[in-house]
Structure 1
């Protein structure tokens, strides 16, 4: 065979017909091999993107989730209500304590002396009340005597006047005037005695334990006793003490915190959801929680309440407002707190939680079986990932 006899080298062959034949052969070959892989995977990726976008938009409303959540508890600074030198500290840092358990003790000596002084003052007040009562009795006796003198003076004046009327020469005018003067003096003595009785009663006040001096002394004694009791600082309820900054020999000022108390019986999760997540969340909705401190485990919770407002920067009165020069196309989403209650029955697991521990939260806003299941699967996967980060 010569070179001109090889296929494709026929000088009489038409190039257009040859190209058309090649295209037909390529189309036939492609049809035999199936759909183009590039087009196939492009379609798959596009479909997956649409599905994921739809899932995100729907789930973000019906099963909202957030990783911006932390464990919170009531945190109370422990400060003494009286000042003094610390003579003993009964707890160590991060120790669990029971309600009423002794935390530290302030030197009670001067407060004990104050109690003894108040007791003596109370006794003095009772004695003073007795003296005031005696003064009232004495004033009353003086009043009785003055009234008797008045009666006698009235009788003398009346008798002398009658005798003079019957016999003008029997009694002199001077004697009559002296009797009338004695009568006026007796009246003045009665008025003075009545005033003394009223003054003695005012000085005495109420009788018995309702006497003002006794009430004041009893109040001072109660305050001194309370201050003495306050030299022992106790735990307000069951919880944990941390940040212990007091030691024996330190001088503790009243109202100055010496340690921090955390109430472990009242712990909740604060989950910060974006505004567009809140549309379907209601108090009582079920929630699922994953704690970073407890990897591999998913816990149940319930929405307690939704926050109504958050703090924003505002200019004080009398000043000009501050305007942010922000020209970004997309602004940061505003978040609001959602409080979630939970209860971990296993105390050993619960003890591993810390105030401020990070949490991932999913809220089931309705009976959406498919969405709830998918959200739970995603949360379970996140719980596994917490082993690694």
Structure 2
């Protein structure tokens, strides 16, 4: 084989190889690559919680350090609780006072019921006396007509009858007063019940404020950005530290608007982190933002101006990480990643 033949052979071989590669890539693009949408404008996210205090006070103890892992419910910071303990004691005293008032009122009610019973008995006796005196008066009047008794005896009987009527009226009035006093006790009982409810609410609030002096972890995570020091005074709402969740991490990937036509929730995604080159993680599309990222910025872009330059907008897409990737350790909130979504996959 001469030089010209060899040259012709190699050119043919290279041309064939290039054609095969082109056909192979064309087949790959037609069946797979054209369904893959990628972006490197993506970052790891997490529900980072800013831990703050609900009540004011001096920091008595800091139970955690920077970058320390904690479990849900573990103590983070304790404030000086003496003022709040005193408030609880005072509120307990108010509740006890109202409960004692109710007990005293119950005793007065029993006494008043006995008084009413006595008044009813006195009224019955007065009514019986009135009946007797009425009969005596009628009998003496009849005898006085026959001159069997003197006029003085008749007048004394009439006077006794009138006295009995007066005593009956007084007994009836005493009974009504005793019954009305029971109504007064009922109204006072309602007032004491209302005061007891208020005192109990004050006690509950005092106990709640006391519980706020112990700041505990709302979930499993890692402590970061600590701004609290022992002995310093903190006011209500002041941020003391940040707690980074140890699970349920996600990716916020910002895709160009021309990449979203066929993107749907549930599609498979592959994630590669800059911090771990050569290693990929699995995930899936959870949701697509209802607006572009620029519309949620502090100063949204205003394009209605004389000089307009079209800029391709990006839309945030939430990617849920799967498996160990969702646990804090391999990935951390804020890290840069590259995301590839396979639109060919289906939920």
Q: 1:280 aligns to what?
A: 262
SS state of the match for residue 167, structure 1? helix
- Return the structure number with greater relative CO, CA threshold 8 A, min gap 6: 2
Q: How does 1:139-288 map to 2 (within 5 A)?
A: 139-168=112-141, 169=144, 170-172=154-156, 173-205=158-190, 212-288=194-270
Q: Tell me, which stretches of 5 or more residues in structure 2 are unaligned? A: 1-6, 145-153, 297-301
Q: Cα RMSD (Å) of the superposition?
A: 3.4
Indicate which of 335, 354, 360 corresponds to 2:332. Answer: 354
Residues 1:65 and 1:345: Cα distance change in structure 2 (over 3 Å): same
TM-score scaled to structure 1, two decimals? 0.70
4+ runs deviating over 6 angstroms: none
| In 2, Cα distance between equivalents of 1:214 and 1:260 | 41
Q: Is the 8 A contact 2:289 2:317 kept in 1?
A: yes
Q: 1:333 aligns to what?
A: 312
Q: Is the 8 A contact 1:244 1:259 kept in 2?
A: yes
| In 2, Cα distance between equivalents of 1:225 and 1:243 | 30
SS state of the match for residue 248, structure 2? strand
Which structure has the greater CA radius of gyration? 1
Q: How does 1:1-389 map to 2 (within 5 A)?
A: 59=33, 62-168=35-141, 169=144, 170-172=154-156, 173-205=158-190, 212-310=194-292, 323-328=304-309, 331-343=310-322, 345=324, 350-366=328-344
Q: Is the 8 A contact 1:160 1:171 kept in 2?
A: no
Q: 1:29 aligns to what?
A: none
CA drift of 1:99 comes to: 1.1
Q: Is the 8 A contact 1:163 1:171 kept in 2?
A: no
Q: Tell me, which stretches of 5 or more residues in structure 1 are unaligned? A: 1-32, 315-320, 369-389
| In 1, Cα distance between equivalents of 2:325 and 2:135 | 110
Q: Is the 8 A contact 1:344 1:350 kept in 2?
A: no
Residues 1:94 and 1:346: Cα distance change in structure 2 (over 3 Å): same
Question: What per-residue deviation string (whole Å, max 9, x for no partner) do you get for residues 248-281 of structure 1?
Answer: 1111112211111121212100111223322222
CA drift of 1:65 comes to: 1.1
Q: Is the 8 A contact 1:81 1:230 kept in 2?
A: yes
Q: Is the 8 A contact 2:281 2:325 kept in 1?
A: no
Q: Is the 8 A contact 1:136 1:200 kept in 2?
A: yes
CA drift of 1:94 comes to: 2.5
CA drift of 1:182 comes to: 2.4
| In 2, Cα distance between equivalents of 1:346 and 1:180 | 99
SS state of the match for residue 308, structure 1? coil
CA drift of 1:120 comes to: 2.8
CA drift of 1:216 comes to: 4.0
SS state of the match for residue 294, structure 1? coil
Q: Is the 8 A contact 2:225 2:241 kept in 1?
A: yes
| In 1, Cα distance between equivalents of 2:108 and 2:270 | 80
